[in-house]
Structure 1
Amino acid sequence: MWFFARDPVRDFPFELSPELPEGGPPGPWVLHRGRKKATGSPVSIFVYDVKPGVEEQTQVAKAAFKRLKTLRHPNILAYIDGLETDRCLHIVTEAVTPLGAYLKARAEAGDLRELELSWGLHQIVKALSFLVNDCSLIHNNVCMAAVFVDRAGEWKLGGLDYMYSAQGNGGGPPRKGIPELEQYDPPELADGSGRAVREKWSADMWRLGCLIWEVFNGPLPRAAALRNPGKIPKSLVPHYCELVGANPKVRPNPARFLQNCRAPGGFMNNRFVETNLFLEEIQIKEPAEKQKFFQELSKSLDSFPEDFCRHKVLPQLLTAFEFGSAGAVVLTPLFKVGKFLGAVEYQRKIIPVVVKMFSSTDRAMRIRLLQQMEQFIQYLDEPTVNTQIFPHVVHGFLDTNPAIREQTVKSMLLLAPKLNETNLNVELMKHFARLQAKDEQGPIRCNTTVCLGKIGSYLSAGTRHRVLTSAFSRATKDPFAPSRVAGVLGFAATHNLYSMNDCAHKILPVLCSLTVDPERSVRDQAFKAIRSFLSKLESVSEDPTQLAEAEKDVHAASSPGMGGAAASWAGWAVTGVSSLTSKLIRAHPTAAPAETNVPQRPVPEGHWETQEESKDAEEDSTAADRWDDEDWGSLEEAESVLAQQDNWSTGGQASWAGQTSNPGHKSQESDWSSWEAEDAWEQGWQEPSPPEPPPEGTRLASEYNWGGPQPSDKGDPFAALSVRREAGAQPRRDSWGDDNWEGLEAESRQAKAELARKKREERRREMEAKRAEKKTAKGPMKLGTRKLD
């Protein structure tokens, strides 16, 4: 029938590539690259063409086919499929490269390392130990041509053509008939000496010595060259000499050879070999051992081969997260290995794991993800960010752990360009408004202001108009000095997003009030910002035709190009403030932040006067627009000054958050009435003693609509938080002097003097009343007498 005439090679589910890899094995087998027709996965195909007159060689090939099909070991070439016909033999294995070609390519690229060679030789010796000790088989063909390397850099032992039983059940060793292979035979086989006293592994261990020589020195020209170790490492030379000794009886068993090389100081006693051995047994390791292993793995990945990290470490990391209890410790090595992947492979392997991690409730994992978001954000598409990432990330804004809140704020800098209209302009702004107004941690409020300044260019025109001016104005009244500096620099970094009217009527009045700030760093930045805005207004005043050019970005839908310009001034947000927050967290790691009153250190009297008044030449410059040159590094200086004043890093103030004011003392509300700060926030910029309570009906700074009375400001989430709803609130004049926004030192001293004068007057009246009462007492005053006992 017709199907008996079909060619089995055509129906073979694997396709051969006509291209032959370099360094194929000598002999009848020809190595081809190939792929599986159904999936396209790469394979290697060994092909033997049956020819007449070589029946002995054909029997050797068929024996190798059978051996490879039945032998299974991690260090022996893995059999996948095969085809045996009257005309040919096909053996399909995992995709491999001949060792000679692999070493040549690695050496030319300069990537060949002793660590890699030590593990490769370890694998070959382990395969020989399995054959000799467990299977009683003699390989009889150990050489460079019989070793192959897979895509992970793992060495595999092949070339099973001339294998025979060590127990003599199948006769003697088969004849090779190939001069290239016979040169690896030990000397006792050539002269017939020592056959009765040699061990069953002696011949293979001699050939192992030849392999070691070739790995470090290249192809073996003749057996006499084995006497010179050449480039073999010194730690391996003593053990190598045992292998190529003339006496076959002293050649060590493969298991003992491994033990000797793994001894302290041995060639195979290194971190790379230990890592591989642990990965081979990771399924039976205890959870504590896995945790420790993954924690230490990141330090070693830089010294490991790239292919090993991609194809061996990465699958183990993914498996450990998916089915194990490794948790957050796998994140650092996972993202480190991810750098070796292409975009498509990263999307397929890493991103699904990252998306699943964001839904975890493990705080350690969440903060690790936020800290390392920069490594994978480029591979996240917008739909994934908005539907699967952002809804989980925003929970960090409400977390009781300050570190998570801070890292969540910083992560918005990376997520903002990928957020949709609703998430960016509505949802995110609500959280930023609450953090800036109510968070009790000063560094977090500062970082919120910084992040808002950086992502301001991505906001819609309406959101920018409602939010930016109000938010930065509020920041300039923060008791935390770096927050005030951040507010000033926020104005400066987004200067092109404001109209000329807003610059003149809203921004400059706020900046001018900061020229008398107690902190030198705040005053310096305020003067710079004022000069910048004044220069801008002056240029438009001199040439009104420049108005359109100056306001071109005000009503633009978005200005993504601003992100690069803003990056120069906000770098401090990622580095500078985190140190402040870390000190806060270390001071009280278990305290609930929502229940802690965090006072600010009061400004000592005379602090302003003792500030150094000298300025750099750059600060004295009157250049019109220098904000591209302004770096957030200037904020780091402010941070260091504040840290020195507050002495956070010294042991004398171990519990910074524990310094609460007297519970019986009710301090005046700060200008941000919506912050829910009850104790001593105003002490950072006023006198430490309790101030005079304001008259009835006095409004706080946060009650003023900084965005103006326009109806469009109703959607401002920052202003909504600061609205103070009180029944029967009395109208009040919007007088800067009457409302006493800044609580200046002179006014505070006058209030104290007036209070002291009233107390002295009251005391005088009390003394006069007592004297009058004594005068009206009955009878004359009598001297006291002492009674005797």
Structure 2
Amino acid sequence: MAMDVINKFYSTVHTTVSQLSGVLPGNNVTREYEVLEQVCTAGIGLMWKVYNGYKKSTKQEVSVFVFEKKMLERWSKDDRETMLETLRRGVQQLTKIRHPHVLTVQHPLEESRDSLAFATEPVFASLANVVGDSVRSDKKLYDVEIRHGLLQLFDGLSFLHNDAKIVHRNICAETIVINKNRSWKLFGFDFCIANQPSVDGKPFWPCREYSTSIHVLAQPSLEYCAPEIALNSINCAESDLFSLGVLIFTIYSGKPLKMFGSDYSSFRRYAAELNQRKYPSMNSIPSDLIESLRALLHPSSHMRPQLHELKQISYFQDVGVKTLSYLDSLYQWDNLQKSKFYKGLPQIIPTLPHRVNLHSILPYLVKEFVNSPMIPFVLPNVLLIAEMSSQKEYCEHILTHLKPIFKLTDPIQILLIFMQKMDLLLKLTPAEEVKLHVLPLLYRSLECDMPQIQELCLAVLPTFSNLIDYNAMKNAVIPRIKKLCLHSTNVSVKVNCLVSIGKLLEDLDKWLVLDEILPFLQQIQSREPAIIMAIIGIYKIAMTNTKLGITKDVMAHKCIPFLMPLCVENGLTIAQFNTIVALIKEMFSRVEKEQREKLEQLSTIQRENKPRDASEILANELEKGSGALSQGSKANINLSNSANSDDDMFSGFSISQPTKHLNAAMQTSQPQKLKPNNDALKISHNASPKPDILSSLMNSNLSNLSNCSTPKTARPPTVVQSIVNPYASLGSSGSNAISSNQSRSNEDWTNSWHSANPLVMNNQLASPQAGSSSNNNLSSLDNLDPFGGGNKNISVQRPAVNYIYPSGYISGGVNNGNANSMNSMNNLTPLLPQQSTTQLQAQDYKNLNALSQQDILSFLN
């Protein structure tokens, strides 16, 4: 469908250009003017073809009248010469006359071998093109246009008769041209006669008798001729009035009183009938015009009314007609009279047809744009017409005239009017034009000194934020609003600035809000309740909008500390106070929730990624396999939970000074607690609030111990027991056990134990000594007795462990009593190298100092 329209348009243009190519190339008019499409016809027999065009140098719009000489080829040579001479004379006479209601010539007649051509002001159509039943509906005249057009003809004829002393002699539908602004203009001065001097000083116009020997188009149209020309051979100014009456009848009925063609005798008979006052039916004529029309058609010229009398009849007293007539004479008024008229014009514009407003009223209004004091009075009317127009009409007829006005800031009312009608401008103005012309207008409005304009600008700015690109928003709009808010002394302007920012938030990105908007809010020193609530609104939008979303860090560090003082400002109502407090609570709740979730996630990740210790693995496995531990073992685990733990830095972990001696004896059934002294370092874990952490750590690497390169023995549980409960190996025969263990050679522990033990991993303990081993895989823990109560026949070969236990473990510091108890636990006692008490004590301190706080915390967790 679109291609069909394009092809049809191309075909039309191509045809027009082809037609003109054979006519205009030799004509000088084409040197200065570009000729476009044909729009209408005019003149005698409608032989003048009228084309749209423009001047090449200035792009000024014009109409080009072209007469093609080939139209006269069927005429005789004399008729052709007569006709060409008539046309030349008519254009030359037209060029000499200057009047608002006479067609204005822009370029004089140019003749070539094939054509006559001249340029005039832009033309819409001739009256003959818009009168009749076959006229398209979009070209049919409205009643107000007819009435106003007739008044314009009255003015033109009055000037012609009284000032120029010329009788037109051919007033008809073909010689009345309607220009682009729908003003009616006199044209076709081909048969006009100028005043001749007379003896008595009265105006005299010689009469030219109608000749049947001359072509009918080379003489005035008989249908519009006055009867006195045929009856009395008299030609006068009143003869044009009779032609005017016939024209009025033609406009309303669609055809003249009677058609004569070239039959002059028939015209004479009709003139005699009119002398007897025999008029045709006038049913199509408005009732308030019939009497005046009959007077114009009176057979006696001196009985016809004068033009100034016709203007006073009720037919021309319509409000719309008067309005259009005032516009015609507007150039004669001063600014005060004009301002009064423009103030009342908005009440009249809605009552007129849109085409009249667009083509008859608007051209006069835009002419006033050169008169700066009148712009505030004219602009509302222009925008009112724009409101009734389509976007195409607005762009073609209005926008071009508004572009220079967008740049004006004086008078200040111009900005105010534009701000009030900004929604209309945004609706009709194309997006590109908005960026080029409307946005700068808004910038100027924000920077003006009138609060009312600033508030209007702030109110309409969010309505077209989608037309503002990111850079313009960030570098032009937001900085201007912030500056206005910080420097304005008007509270209402400040509030509107904040409200405008709040509405713009959805079109901003997160980082612009965090970097530009939120810090700006803290710069506002005013603490009026309205300003506070506007600030609260911005925070709430920024927090709840999923696209923006203030982070918990920003809320915790910046938002909440800023908002807290606002809730204690004086002047707040209870509702406002509740709103602020609710926002603060919501922010705090969100911070709490997000931070808790974060910490829980981190804790979970740490637990999942933390390596499980061999002690944890073995302890868990032993706890499952042994069923229940004896009360004495549990007591040993909690041995260090004494009153000395008051200064403990870490929960469940205590450090006491070394002791020199233990109690005198340890009971066989229940080990005794060690008293602190200066010779030994005691590190114990409080197992009462939570499970034994070391036992659970040892459980994780139980599988690794099953692959140790030692004989099948219960040695690994022995080592675990000595770590978990170092005092369990101490008894009355502790010295014998140590002495027995010292005689053993050190055996190699596997790398799995080495890597799983947390103290070894932190490089605080030495690795087990390498040694020989045989088939020592532990296939089961069923026969293992951590307390020495297992199978006595199992041969246990204990590897030597090369790390340091507290000095309280050695034989020198343990009472040798209760030998039976110690013998029952010999299998759980690790083999210690022979070292002095002083060396062991120094080594204990060294190992403890090497443990950082983070290592101890990691060890506990």
TM-score tier, shorter chain, comes to 0.5 to 0.7
Does 1:102 pair with 2:130?
Answer: yes
After TM superposition, give the deviation of residue 309 of structure 1 in Å: 5.0
After TM superposition, give the deviation of residue 451 of structure 1 in Å: 0.7
Does 1:235 pair with 2:288?
Answer: yes
2:96 aligned to which of 70, 79, 82: 70
TM alignment of 1:383-782, pairs within 5 A: 384=436, 389=441, 392-396=444-448, 399=449, 401-413=450-462, 424-425=473-474, 428-429=477-478, 432-433=481-482, 441-468=490-517, 479-480=528-529, 484=533, 487-488=536-537, 491-492=540-541, 495-496=545-546, 497-499=548-550, 501=552
Q: Secondary structure, in 3 states, of the residue corresponding to 1:350? A: helix
Tell me which residue corresponds to 2:86.
Answer: 60
After TM superposition, give the deviation of residue 170 of structure 1 in Å: 5.0
Q: 1:482 to 1:216 in 2, by over 3 A?
A: farther
Q: Secondary structure, in 3 states, of the residue corresponding to 1:141? A: coil
After TM superposition, give the deviation of residue 130 of structure 1 in Å: 1.9
Letter in structure 2 aligned against 1:204: D
TM alignment of 1:317-396, pairs within 5 A: 317-337=365-385, 340=389, 341-343=393-395, 348-355=400-407, 357-358=408-409, 360=410, 362-376=411-425, 378=429, 381=433, 384=436, 389=441, 392-396=444-448
Q: How many residues align?
A: 525
Letter in structure 2 aligned against 1:100: A
Contact 2:445–2:453, Cα closer than 8 Å, also in 1: no
TM alignment of 1:267-306, pairs within 5 A: 267-304=315-352
Tell me which residue corresponds to 1:82.
Answer: 109
Tell me which residue corresponds to 1:256.
Answer: 309
Q: Secondary structure, in 3 states, of the residue corresponding to 1:410? A: helix
Residue by residue over 1:465-491, the C-alpha shift from the partner in whole angstroms, topping out at 9 and shown as x without a partner, is 145556789999964469737844873
Q: 1:7 to 1:351 in 2, by over 3 A?
A: closer
CA distance in 2, matches of 1:491, 1:528: 10
Tell me which residue corresponds to 1:93.
Answer: 120
Letter in structure 1 aligned against 2:348: S
Q: Secondary structure, in 3 states, of the residue corresponding to 2:417? A: helix
Q: Which moved more, 1:245-254 or 1:463-472?
A: 463-472
CA distance in 2, matches of 1:174, 1:532: 101
Q: 1:283 to 1:490 in 2, by over 3 A?
A: farther
CA distance in 2, matches of 1:382, 1:256: 52
After TM superposition, give the deviation of residue 385 of structure 1 in Å: 6.0
Structure with more relative contact order (C-alpha pairs < 8 Å, separation 6 or more):
1
Contact 1:449–1:487, Cα closer than 8 Å, also in 2: no
Residue by residue over 1:690-719, the C-alpha shift from the partner in whole angstroms, topping out at 9 and shown as x without a partner, is xxxxxxxxxxxxxxxxxxxxxxxxxxxxxx
CA distance in 1, matches of 2:141, 2:148: 12
Tell me which residue corresponds to 1:784.
Answer: none
Does 1:202 pair with 2:238?
Answer: yes
After TM superposition, give the deviation of residue 289 of structure 1 in Å: 1.8
After TM superposition, give the deviation of residue 48 of structure 1 in Å: 5.3
Q: 1:19 to 1:315 in 2, by over 3 A?
A: closer
Q: 1:123 to 1:143 in 2, by over 3 A?
A: same
Q: Secondary structure, in 3 states, of the residue corresponding to 1:31? A: strand
Q: Which moved more, 1:339-348 or 1:141-150?
A: 339-348
Q: Secondary structure, in 3 states, of the residue corresponding to 2:373? A: coil
Tell me which residue corresponds to 1:129.
Answer: 158
* Gap regions ≥5 residues in structure 2: 1-21, 197-203, 260-273, 599-861
Tell me which residue corresponds to 1:738.
Answer: none
Residue by residue over 1:347-377, the C-alpha shift from the partner in whole angstroms, topping out at 9 and shown as x without a partner, is 643212311x13x3x4333323333334445
Tell me which residue corresponds to 2:188.
Answer: 159
Contact 2:65–2:118, Cα closer than 8 Å, also in 1: yes
After TM superposition, give the deviation of residue 98 of structure 1 in Å: 1.7
CA distance in 1, matches of 2:379, 2:406: 9
CA distance in 1, matches of 2:210, 2:582: 90
Q: 1:13 to 1:542 in 2, by over 3 A?
A: farther
Larger Rg, first or second structure (1 or 2)? 2
CA distance in 2, matches of 1:391, 1:140: 61
Tell me which residue corresponds to 2:702.
Answer: none
Residue by residue over 1:490-549, the C-alpha shift from the partner in whole angstroms, topping out at 9 and shown as x without a partner, is 7348622114637986889969998999769769988999999999999999999xxxxx
Tell me which residue corresponds to 1:218.
Answer: 254
1:10 aligned to which of 23, 26, 29: 26
Q: 1:234 to 1:390 in 2, by over 3 A?
A: same
Tell me which residue corresponds to 1:29.
Answer: 47
CA distance in 2, matches of 1:403, 1:36: 44
Letter in structure 1 aligned against 2:89: A
Q: Secondary structure, in 3 states, of the residue corresponding to 2:501? A: helix
Contact 1:209–1:243, Cα closer than 8 Å, also in 2: yes
Contact 1:217–1:231, Cα closer than 8 Å, also in 2: yes
CA distance in 1, matches of 2:146, 2:372: 31
2:167 aligned to which of 116, 121, 138: 138
**Identity across aligned pairs (percent)?**
17
Letter in structure 2 aligned against 1:229: M
* Gap regions ≥5 residues in structure 1: 1-5, 545-789
Q: 1:334 to 1:106 in 2, by over 3 A?
A: farther
Residue by residue over 1:195-241, the C-alpha shift from the partner in whole angstroms, topping out at 9 and shown as x without a partner, is 39x88233222221221122223223638996433333333333223
Tell me which residue corresponds to 1:685.
Answer: none
CA distance in 1, matches of 2:373, 2:282: 47
Does 1:38 pair with 2:64?
Answer: no
After TM superposition, give the deviation of residue 278 of structure 1 in Å: 3.9
Contact 2:167–2:236, Cα closer than 8 Å, also in 1: yes
Q: Which moved more, 1:148-157 or 1:172-181?
A: 172-181
Does 1:47 pair with 2:67?
Answer: yes
Contact 2:249–2:257, Cα closer than 8 Å, also in 1: no
CA distance in 1, matches of 2:533, 2:284: 65
TM-score normalised per structure 2: 0.51
| Alpha-carbon RMSD | 5.0
Contact 1:34–1:45, Cα closer than 8 Å, also in 2: no
Q: 1:7 to 1:216 in 2, by over 3 A?
A: closer
Contact 1:489–1:529, Cα closer than 8 Å, also in 2: no
Tell me which residue corresponds to 1:244.
Answer: 297
CA distance in 1, matches of 2:251, 2:494: 61
After TM superposition, give the deviation of residue 82 of structure 1 in Å: 1.0
After TM superposition, give the deviation of residue 47 of structure 1 in Å: 0.8
CA distance in 2, matches of 1:502, 1:445: 28
